[in-house]
A and B are shown apart, each in its own frame.
Chain A
Amino acid sequence: KQEVTQIPAALSVPEGENLVLNCSFTDSAIYNLQWFRQDPGKGLTSLLLIQSSQREQTSGRLNASLDKSSGRSTLYIAASQPGDSATYLCAVTNNAGNMLTFGGGTRLMVKP
């Protein structure tokens, strides 16, 4: 059974710092990996999706990498801002593309 782990569970940084969030998964037979953002009491917003054949995806200050063979992904946030404060979740989709398994999330606080 697929298991997804995110480290650290919580992170507090001063504004302007570059930071890395980590995601690991136990079964490398995945279809894709998605990074989501969740604000308190809200739904999930998709940030980046990496297909299993890709190594990375970029959107603005966000860069996500995928090393499928080692079961790891990282989300890099450049020049962090207080508005980046949220919980970040990674999820892997199984080979059939019909089921996402989520990590427990990293709660990020960016202090002004």
Chain B
Amino acid sequence: DGGITQSPKYLFRKEGQNVTLSCEQNLNHDAMYWYRQDPGQGLRLIYYSQIVNDFQKGDIAEGYSVSREKKESFPLTVTSAQKNPTAFYLCASNTPGGGYTEAFFGQGTRLTVV
């Protein structure tokens, strides 16, 4: 059953702590994305990666870091430099260009600072 899996579903972070959100896909998609969603708002792009070992900053990359060592995996680290990390985080994937290019999303991780 193909899809995108995000874990954990809920995550709590203490002040000054780094936390890592997992995103795995078995759709054989080339590109993966991280979005942040705040209550009542649309999605804002944090980082994206079009191929392994390459990634680009989105609109709100400050305080976040990513890696893309494998095609299937695109973890997001929320660092202590991110001053307002409480939000809903969504991971997506697609294969850009040359065809259907439909984006698929995971079920999200809700991060709360305690």
B101 close to chain A: CB less than 8 A: yes
CA of A93 to CA of B48, assembled, Å:
13
Known contacts A44-B90, A97-B96; is A103 also within 8 Å of B107 by CB?
A: no
The CB with the most chain A CB atoms within 10 A, among B42, B100, B106, is that of B42
Collect the chain B residues with CB atoms within 8 Å of residue A102's CB.
35, 42-44
A76 close to chain B: CB less than 8 A: no
Chain A residue with minimal CB distance to B100?
Answer: A49
Contact A99 B43, beta carbon cutoff 8 Å:
no
Secondary structure at chain A's binding surface: helix, strand, loop or mixed? strand
Chain B 66-84, CB within 8 Å of chain A: the 1/0 string? Answer: 0000000000000000000
A-B pairs under 8 A by CB, number: 69
Q: How far is the CB of B28 from chain A (nearest CB, A)?
A: 16
Task: Using C-beta atoms within 8 Å of the partner chain, give the interface range for chain A.
Answer: 20 to 34
A64 close to chain B: CB less than 8 A: no
Q: How far is the CB of A64 from chain B (nearest CB, A)?
A: 13
Collect the chain B residues with CB atoms within 8 Å of residue A31's CB.
97, 101
Q: How far is the CB of A100 from chain B (nearest CB, A)?
A: 6
The CB with the most chain A CB atoms within 10 A, among B35, B43, B88, B108, is that of B43
Contact A98 B97, beta carbon cutoff 8 Å:
yes
Q: How far is the CB of A42 from chain B (nearest CB, A)?
A: 6
